[in-house]
Amino acid sequence: MSTTEQTYIMVKPDGVQRGLVGEIIARFEKRGFKLVALKMFTPSKELLEKHYADLKEKSFFPRLVAYMLSGPVVGMVWEGLDAVKTGRAMLGATNPLASAPGTIRGDYALQVGMNVCHGSDAVETAQHEIGLWFGGEVNQYKLSRQEWIYEA
Protein backbone atom coordinates (compact mmCIF):
# COMPACT_ATOMS: atom_id res chain seq x y z
CA MET A 1 0.00 0.00 0.00
CA SER A 2 1.58 3.30 -1.02
CA THR A 3 0.49 6.90 -1.48
CA THR A 4 1.67 6.74 -5.10
CA GLU A 5 -0.37 3.69 -6.08
CA GLN A 6 -2.20 4.25 -9.37
CA THR A 7 -5.45 2.86 -10.73
CA TYR A 8 -7.10 3.03 -14.13
CA ILE A 9 -10.70 4.24 -13.95
CA MET A 10 -12.83 4.46 -17.10
CA VAL A 11 -16.30 5.90 -17.55
CA LYS A 12 -18.01 3.50 -19.95
CA PRO A 13 -20.21 4.62 -22.90
CA ASP A 14 -23.41 4.59 -20.79
CA GLY A 15 -21.73 6.72 -18.13
CA VAL A 16 -20.66 9.26 -20.75
CA GLN A 17 -24.13 9.32 -22.37
CA ARG A 18 -25.85 9.69 -19.02
CA GLY A 19 -23.74 12.68 -18.02
CA LEU A 20 -21.88 10.96 -15.19
CA VAL A 21 -18.31 11.92 -16.17
CA GLY A 22 -18.21 14.95 -13.87
CA GLU A 23 -19.84 13.06 -11.01
CA ILE A 24 -17.33 10.22 -11.19
CA ILE A 25 -14.36 12.59 -11.43
CA ALA A 26 -15.73 14.58 -8.48
CA ARG A 27 -15.97 11.49 -6.28
CA PHE A 28 -12.31 10.59 -6.83
CA GLU A 29 -11.21 14.21 -6.39
CA LYS A 30 -13.15 14.67 -3.18
CA ARG A 31 -11.94 11.38 -1.73
CA GLY A 32 -8.41 12.78 -1.93
CA PHE A 33 -6.97 11.09 -5.00
CA LYS A 34 -4.74 12.91 -7.44
CA LEU A 35 -5.65 12.96 -11.14
CA VAL A 36 -2.55 12.13 -13.18
CA ALA A 37 -4.08 11.33 -16.59
CA LEU A 38 -7.40 11.96 -18.34
CA LYS A 39 -8.58 11.41 -21.92
CA MET A 40 -11.69 10.67 -23.96
CA PHE A 41 -11.16 7.70 -26.28
CA THR A 42 -13.06 6.08 -29.12
CA PRO A 43 -11.29 2.76 -28.65
CA SER A 44 -10.73 0.14 -31.33
CA LYS A 45 -12.11 -3.37 -31.01
CA GLU A 46 -8.52 -4.59 -30.74
CA LEU A 47 -7.78 -2.34 -27.76
CA LEU A 48 -10.97 -3.44 -25.99
CA GLU A 49 -10.15 -7.09 -26.64
CA LYS A 50 -6.77 -6.51 -25.01
CA HIS A 51 -8.30 -4.60 -22.11
CA TYR A 52 -10.75 -7.44 -21.43
CA ALA A 53 -8.45 -10.29 -22.55
CA ASP A 54 -9.07 -12.22 -19.30
CA LEU A 55 -12.77 -12.49 -20.21
CA LYS A 56 -12.45 -13.60 -23.84
CA GLU A 57 -13.77 -17.11 -23.14
CA LYS A 58 -16.92 -15.79 -21.43
CA SER A 59 -20.24 -16.10 -23.25
CA PHE A 60 -20.93 -12.39 -22.69
CA PHE A 61 -17.60 -11.29 -24.22
CA PRO A 62 -18.98 -10.28 -27.68
CA ARG A 63 -21.76 -8.29 -26.00
CA LEU A 64 -19.27 -6.67 -23.65
CA VAL A 65 -17.07 -5.55 -26.54
CA ALA A 66 -20.10 -4.26 -28.50
CA TYR A 67 -21.23 -2.29 -25.42
CA MET A 68 -17.79 -0.77 -24.98
CA LEU A 69 -17.74 0.16 -28.70
CA SER A 70 -21.13 1.90 -28.49
CA GLY A 71 -19.67 5.35 -27.77
CA PRO A 72 -16.64 7.18 -26.45
CA VAL A 73 -15.25 6.40 -23.02
CA VAL A 74 -13.33 8.57 -20.58
CA GLY A 75 -10.17 7.03 -19.19
CA MET A 76 -8.30 8.39 -16.20
CA VAL A 77 -5.51 7.51 -13.85
CA TRP A 78 -5.93 8.32 -10.18
CA GLU A 79 -3.06 8.19 -7.71
CA GLY A 80 -3.11 7.87 -3.93
CA LEU A 81 -3.19 5.63 -0.88
CA ASP A 82 -4.47 2.15 -1.72
CA ALA A 83 -5.93 3.57 -4.95
CA VAL A 84 -6.75 0.24 -6.59
CA LYS A 85 -8.70 -1.35 -3.74
CA THR A 86 -10.32 1.94 -2.74
CA GLY A 87 -11.29 2.63 -6.35
CA ARG A 88 -13.00 -0.77 -6.54
CA ALA A 89 -14.82 -0.06 -3.28
CA MET A 90 -16.01 3.28 -4.67
CA LEU A 91 -17.25 1.51 -7.81
CA GLY A 92 -19.21 -1.20 -6.00
CA ALA A 93 -19.79 -4.78 -7.12
CA THR A 94 -19.67 -5.88 -10.77
CA ASN A 95 -23.44 -6.45 -10.61
CA PRO A 96 -25.03 -3.09 -9.76
CA LEU A 97 -27.91 -4.79 -7.95
CA ALA A 98 -25.35 -6.17 -5.50
CA SER A 99 -23.67 -2.77 -5.08
CA ALA A 100 -24.26 -0.81 -1.91
CA PRO A 101 -25.92 2.59 -2.17
CA GLY A 102 -23.19 5.22 -2.00
CA THR A 103 -21.06 3.39 -4.55
CA ILE A 104 -20.98 4.54 -8.17
CA ARG A 105 -22.72 1.43 -9.50
CA GLY A 106 -24.98 1.28 -6.45
CA ASP A 107 -26.13 4.82 -7.11
CA TYR A 108 -26.29 4.93 -10.91
CA ALA A 109 -26.81 1.47 -12.42
CA LEU A 110 -29.07 -1.58 -12.39
CA GLN A 111 -27.62 -4.15 -14.81
CA VAL A 112 -24.23 -5.80 -15.10
CA GLY A 113 -24.02 -5.20 -18.86
CA MET A 114 -24.50 -1.46 -18.34
CA ASN A 115 -22.57 -0.72 -15.18
CA VAL A 116 -21.23 2.78 -15.93
CA CYS A 117 -17.59 2.58 -14.88
CA HIS A 118 -14.47 0.40 -14.92
CA GLY A 119 -11.78 0.16 -12.25
CA SER A 120 -8.58 -1.91 -12.19
CA ASP A 121 -8.75 -5.00 -9.97
CA ALA A 122 -5.09 -5.23 -8.87
CA VAL A 123 -1.94 -3.10 -8.86
CA GLU A 124 -0.37 -5.15 -11.69
CA THR A 125 -3.59 -4.97 -13.73
CA ALA A 126 -3.66 -1.20 -13.21
CA GLN A 127 -0.11 -0.82 -14.54
CA HIS A 128 -1.00 -3.01 -17.53
CA GLU A 129 -4.14 -0.95 -18.25
CA ILE A 130 -2.31 2.39 -17.86
CA GLY A 131 0.16 1.03 -20.43
CA LEU A 132 -2.63 0.02 -22.80
CA TRP A 133 -4.64 3.25 -22.65
CA PHE A 134 -2.02 5.92 -21.92
CA GLY A 135 1.18 4.27 -23.12
CA GLY A 136 2.18 4.52 -19.46
CA GLU A 137 2.37 8.32 -19.79
CA VAL A 138 1.04 9.96 -16.66
CA ASN A 139 1.73 13.40 -15.18
CA GLN A 140 3.95 14.06 -12.20
CA TYR A 141 3.19 17.04 -10.02
CA LYS A 142 2.76 18.00 -6.39
CA LEU A 143 -0.83 18.35 -5.28
CA SER A 144 -0.94 21.36 -2.96
CA ARG A 145 -3.83 19.98 -0.93
CA GLN A 146 -1.92 16.76 -0.23
CA GLU A 147 -0.82 17.90 3.25
CA TRP A 148 -4.49 18.19 4.21
CA ILE A 149 -5.17 14.63 3.10
CA TYR A 150 -2.15 12.69 4.38
CA GLU A 151 -0.78 12.78 7.92
CA ALA A 152 2.76 14.10 8.26
> Is 105 labeled as ligand-binding?
yes
> Is 31 labeled as ligand-binding?
no
Binding residue count for Mg ion, defined by CB under 5 A: 1
Under 8 Å between Cβ of 128 and 135: no
Under 8 Å between Cβ of 77 and 71: no
Cα separation, 40 vs 42, whole angstroms: 7
- C-beta of 94: minimal distance to ligand IDP in Å? 3
Q: Show which residues are catalytic.
A: 118
Residues in the chain: 152
- C-beta of 140: minimal distance to ligand IDP in Å? 27
Query: Where do the DSSP E strands lie in 1-150?
Result: 6-11, 34-41, 73-79, 117-119
Grouping H, G, I as helix, E, B as strand and the rest as coil, residue 138 is coil
Which parts of this chain interact with ligand IDP (CB under 6 A)? Answer: 55, 60, 64, 94, 112-113, 115, 118, 121
Q: Which is nearer to ligand IDP, 34 or 51 (CB)?
A: 51
Q: Within 99-138, which residues bind Mg ion (CB under 5 A)?
A: 121
Interacting residues toward Mg ion by CB under 5 A:
121
Which residues sit in the known binding site for ATP? 12, 60, 88, 94, 105, 115
